[in-house]
Each structure stands twice: as structure tokens, then as C-alpha cells.
Structure 1
Amino acid sequence: MKKLILLFLMILLALVVAFAMGWLSPADRSAEEAEAAAERLHPVGPSFDADSAYAFVGAQCAFGPRAMNTSAHDRCGDWIARKFSEYGCEVSSQHARLRGYDGTMLNSRNIIARYRPAATTRILLCAHWDTRPWADNDPDSTHWRKPIDGANDGASGVAVMLEIARQLHLSGGLTIGVDFVCLDAEDWGTPQWANSQDSEDTWALGAQYFAAHLPAGYEARYGILLDMVGGQGARFYREGFSMQFAPEIVKKVWRAARAAGFGSYFPKADGGMITDDHVPLNRIANIPTIDLIAFYPDCTQSSFGPTWHTLDDNLEHIDRHTLKAVGQTVIQTLFTEK
């Protein structure tokens, strides 16, 4: 009797599976199989060196706060351009005079570094390199008008891009082109202590300019923005505008994170909608661009983490493991591109 019951259950299970498979279209089954395959560890491309990236963060911070219209800002910009040139990139600068929220004219410089400039298939990687002039989210109000080091908010994204450029230069194994764009004047947005009303147009000024003044004939398959990608305890949730404008790129990058072994840093969960450099790239330049930006859902001080726009955004609070997770994920994405 037990054998009959067991046989019956086996037949019933087979029928259920067959019935379920019948309801799945070939496209659905293909998508499920691709998702399951992505869960398996399969790293490709060179190894991202987190120690090197950490050193790049430190080198930027050594200039001091890189707020707009300061000598530290200008000297760091020259250093960034030289480093990309050392790693075989064709480097140019896009200069502009941009008006800040308070009418201040900002001497802006977008730095464009092209790896394999002759390649027609291109991926855009970008990050802002300026720093916040005011620590207006610091728990100590006496610090609100002081500039920040911007180790995470600014330097970390540039550092990851520099290390990727260095690895591409060393390996020479990537056949597609990559454009590293260091965007300026991102963090001159209206401070919390200002009397004027905050507007999203006061942020990402360099990205707005770049999106409206693309190099002649410029095209990119898609873009990835790196913002605050070195913080302690950081996790990267699916950002809202990224899901609105480029959901397939989000899936691609999250799949790459799992394949590279860093899926725990990229939860399959949604974060907020962030006004950032990727918004004008999507809206103005029509380049589908996603934002890899840290999201701390349980942090009471800020969902961007405890150091955001505070004097604690310094090298002491940069985590090599976070840099590694993001950098290796981007390398995995690039080396799985056809």
C-alpha cells in the first residue's frame, strides 16, 4: 500500500511539473534559466585591486576638499587627467561656467577619458569628482558651513574608475570601448541651511552640461554612475530612476554582481529615487544610465549613510571590501558585454 501511495505521489508530482511547464512560455523559461545560471559563480575579467583603489581615494583626499573654485579642486583635476592618460586613455576636458544655486559662477571641468577610442561599441562609466562645500548634514551645527573631504561622496567613484582603467590597461583583454567621465559641479546643490528653496536643478550641474553638449556623434550603449561606492556597511539597492529609465541594465549589473561573487552587496530590493548625475544623462542625452549608489534603509541620520555631507566623510570611513564589490561587479559587467 505504501508503495502504491509513493508511486501515486510521484506521478502526481510529475503531472504538476509538466502542467506548470506548460503554462510557461519559451521566453519565460529562457528568462528563468538565465536567472538561475546567473546565480552560479562565474567571474570573468581581471581582478580589481581594492588596495589600489583605496590609495586612489587617499590621493584625492590629500589635495583637501575639492569644492568648486578652489585650488585643491583644480590641482586634483589635473592629477585625475594625468592618471587616466598614464593608463592609456585619450583624455580631454569640457570646461564651462555654470551658475550655482546662489548665483555663484562655477568654473566647471568635466574630464573625459576614452579607453579604446576607435571602438564603436562603448560603455559609459561616470562619477562626480567635486566635493560638497558645506557639511550641512553634520550632527554638529557649528560644522554646517565647513567643506568636507568627500572620501566617499566623490573620491570613491573616481577611484573605482581609475582602478578599472588601470586593470584594462594592464590586461588589454577588453575589446569594447569604455568612456570614463568625471563629472564636475554635482555637489553645489542648495544647502539645508539656505533660505532659498531646494530644487533638483541646482544639483548635477556638470552632468546637465555634459548631457546637453555631448561630443559630436557620441553614442554609448548604456551608462553606469558610481556614487558613494566606498562606505562602510554599504549596500546598493535598485535606485528608482534607474528602474524607470534602464531596468534591463539594472538586471544586467545585479546579475554580474552575483556571478562575480558579490551578490550580497546588491540586494534584490528597491531603494529611493535619487536626484543624481544619471538623471540628465537619461532625460537629456537619452543614454540609459543607472546609479550605483549606497542606500542605508535603517540609518536614522541619512539613507545615504552616517557620513553623508558630514566632516566624517573621510578616508577613515572607507571600506576596501565595498570598493572591491563595486569594482569587480563593474569589471564583470564589462567583460560579459558582447
Structure 2
Amino acid sequence: MKKISSILLAVCCFCTLPFGTSCTGKVENEDSTLTEEKKVQNKFPEMSGDLAYTYIEKQLQFGPRVPGTATHKACAGWLRSELQKFCDTVLIQEAMVKTFDGKSVPIINIIGQFKPDTSQRILLASHWDSRPWADEDLKDHDKPIPAANDGASGVGILLELASKLKNTPPGIGVDIVFFDAEDMGKPEAMNSYCLGSEYWAKNPLPNGYKANCGVLLDMVGGKDAQFFYEGYSYQNAFKILSHTWGIAAELGFAARFVPEAIGNITDDHQQVTLHTQIPMMDIIQYDKQTKNFAYFWHTHNDNMEAIDKNTLKMVGTVISALVFNPPF
């Protein structure tokens, strides 16, 4: 997945800037003397990162989670059983989709719900599949990658959060969705990615699904990872985006959640917003020095050595705080 468009910054500066944003891409207050109301006012479950790390390890123990393989199916069964331990309702969406080369592959989207009858809701998602090949690696290009960070990290954090929500239910409804087949695309064809989220967004489960907003976690476990205002999120989900970065700043993570805009990144949140009109933003690691993702992206080095417990704890803490302090 995930190509970064360099066009966005020019567009943002001259056309679609949210109020109070400078052409540097940094968000500024209209009046710096005004004091904003604190975003974190309610207590929230503590996240350690240790459990998320264990959940990532478990996913990798199944092997690469490539749609249509036995290891993929086995991991899907485990993810379902884990969510059933914690959630009020668990739903499975199975379908056949076509990849860029015309092949039909089976996909499994997995949905866990807390308070399914509550109208005020937040959608939290990550993809759980592994890329079938290592196109950024110097060798073994045709072998699937472990996908510890690019896939399993977001799932691990959301499973840890689910375990907390079981005993500390939030005041709003929470939906955790694990999208399949995000990473089966062709690098030069951005519309060939995100097959699971596209299918779910066009065929929402549960039927008629609505949420106030959504958050996608992707590549959220790397050491010293930084997260910026992803371009599509900046344009289409600025309220939840800026609120989440504000929470991170209040919790002491301003150096890691940087309120500066970068280009559009092809990812699952685009499909959700496009087809459901739910404003969904993307928390995704980005390196401003290299203008790319982490060095191990789409290589066989995307393994447990790429995962940092401190980053897992940080991101998990921000998401936990968000669920108990939503912008609605």
C-alpha cells in the first residue's frame, strides 16, 4: 500500500485550509491569547503496550496473513475468538474480490461492537492482512512479508483496547473493524489496494451502519515513529484529526503527533469516507526526512524487531483517551 501524493500541500495552502491554518501546514490559533478547553476531561483505561505486543507476536506466529491461504484463515478464526471474549457483538463479513491481475480471492472482514444499540459511535479500524510479496526488499521479492508493523500493529493495539473496554465500558458505541486485503495492490495502481475496506464500505455490516467519525491505525508500532496530518484526513476529517492530535499533545506526545500536513496516502480510511460519508482519519507512520515510510516497509524486516512497546503504549493511550473523550 500507500503511496504519498506531493500535490496535497499546494492544494491545502490555497484551496481547502481549515480555519486557522497557515501555509506551512501548521495549525495555528486564531488568537494565541485564547485558552482552549482541555480535550481530556474524562478518565480512560490505561494502556501498557505489553498486551498489544503479545497480540502482534501471536499474529505473526500464524505466518503471513495472505488472503486465500491456510495461515490467513487460521488467524481470522483467532481474531474472531479474541473479539468474542471482549465485545458485545462480533460479525464476520466474507466475500470474493478481484485483485489487480484479475484473480478472485476470498476476504474476511472482522467486526467487534461495544454497545451496538447506541447511536453515538466511533469506528476504530486496522487492516490485518500481510503483503503477498516484498517489493521493497533486495531479495526474496516474491515471498510474503511478516507485516508486524504494516498490519499487525494496529490490530494489536485495538485488541488490547477491546480487553480494556470489556471491564470499563465507554459512554459511546465503539466498533472495531479489521479490514482484509488492504495490501494486495500493485505499486503503480493506487486503486488496486484496500479491497476489504472498499467492500465493507459499499456493503456496510451491520446494515445501514453509521458512526460519528472513524480512526484508522496503520504502521503504528515503529520505534520513534512520528505521525503527521495525512492529507486526505486533513481535507475530509479535520475535526477528529485535530481533536486526536490535541489529545496527544495534552498527554505529552506533541513531538510524536506533529500537527503538520503531508500528502495524501492511499489507505482504508479513504474507502470508508468515500462510500459511507463517515469522516475517518489515518494515524500512520511517516518519515519527513526521507519523505517515505519506515526503512523496513514492504520488506522481510517488517518483523518483531521493528516493533517498539513504547510506541504501542503511546498510540494505545491516545486512542483510549479519545474513546472516552470524543469530539461529539
Compute the TM-score of the two structures, normalised by the length of structure 2: 0.87
Which of 167, 191, 196 is equivalent to 1:201? 191
Whether 2:162 is the aligned partner of 1:187: answer no
Relative to structure 1, the CA distance from residue 269 to residue 83 in structure 2 (aligned partners, 3 Å threshold; closer, same or farther) is same
Deviations along 1:60-96, whole A, 9 cap, x unmatched?
0000111111111110011011101101331111111
Deviations along 1:95-119, whole A, 9 cap, x unmatched?
1100001111110011011011121
**Structure 1: 5+ residue stretches without partners:** 1-26, 192-197
Q: For residue 314 of structure 2, what is the amino acid of its counterpart?
A: A
Which of 222, 226, 230 is equivalent to 1:231? 222
- Which residue is 2:3 aligned to? none
CA contact 1:42–1:259 (8 Å) conserved in 2: no
- Which residue is 1:20 aligned to? none
Deviations along 1:4-58, whole A, 9 cap, x unmatched?
xxxxxxxxxxxxxxxxxxxxxxx956994217x45xx877301012101100000
**Structure 2: 5+ residue stretches without partners:** 1-28
- Which residue is 1:248 aligned to? 239
Q: For residue 57 of structure 2, what is the amino acid of its counterpart?
A: G
CA contact 1:208–1:280 (8 Å) conserved in 2: yes
- The separation in 2 between residues aligned to 1:118 and 1:257, in whole angstroms, is 29
CA contact 2:181–2:194 (8 Å) conserved in 1: yes
Deviations along 1:157-192, whole A, 9 cap, x unmatched?
1111101111111223x121100000001000015x
Q: For residue 66 of structure 2, what is the amino acid of its counterpart?
A: A
Q: How many residues align?
A: 298
CA contact 1:43–1:259 (8 Å) conserved in 2: no
Larger radius of gyration: 1
SS at the partner of 1:284?
Answer: helix
- Which residue is 2:36 aligned to? 34
CA contact 1:238–1:250 (8 Å) conserved in 2: yes
- The separation in 2 between residues aligned to 1:46 and 1:265, in whole angstroms, is 21
Q: For residue 300 of structure 2, what is the amino acid of its counterpart?
A: L
RMSD: 1.8
- Which residue is 2:270 aligned to? 279
- The separation in 1 between residues aligned to 2:41 and 2:254, in whole angstroms, is 12
Shift of 1:259: 2.0
Map 1:86-165 → 2, pairs under 5 A: 86-138=85-137, 140=138, 142-165=139-162
CA contact 1:65–1:147 (8 Å) conserved in 2: yes
Compute the TM-score of the two structures, normalised by the length of structure 1: 0.84
- Which residue is 1:304 aligned to? 293
Which of 208, 212, 216 is equivalent to 1:217? 208
Relative to structure 1, the CA distance from residue 50 to residue 175 in structure 2 (aligned partners, 3 Å threshold; closer, same or farther) is same
Relative to structure 1, the CA distance from residue 117 to residue 306 in structure 2 (aligned partners, 3 Å threshold; closer, same or farther) is same
Q: Which has the higher helix share?
A: 1
- Which residue is 2:285 aligned to? 294
Shift of 1:248: 1.1
Whether 2:171 is the aligned partner of 1:175: answer yes
- The separation in 2 between residues aligned to 1:218 and 1:267, in whole angstroms, is 31
Whether 2:270 is the aligned partner of 1:270: answer no
- The separation in 2 between residues aligned to 1:146 and 1:259, in whole angstroms, is 42
CA contact 1:260–1:332 (8 Å) conserved in 2: no
Whether 2:84 is the aligned partner of 1:85: answer yes
Relative to structure 1, the CA distance from residue 30 to residue 116 in structure 2 (aligned partners, 3 Å threshold; closer, same or farther) is farther
- The separation in 1 between residues aligned to 2:253 and 2:121, in whole angstroms, is 25
- The separation in 2 between residues aligned to 1:201 and 1:31, in whole angstroms, is 45
- The separation in 1 between residues aligned to 2:34 and 2:80, in whole angstroms, is 43
- Which residue is 2:324 aligned to? 335
- Which residue is 1:19 aligned to? none
- The separation in 1 between residues aligned to 2:232 and 2:195, in whole angstroms, is 18
- The separation in 1 between residues aligned to 2:118 and 2:84, in whole angstroms, is 17
- The separation in 1 between residues aligned to 2:249 and 2:34, in whole angstroms, is 15
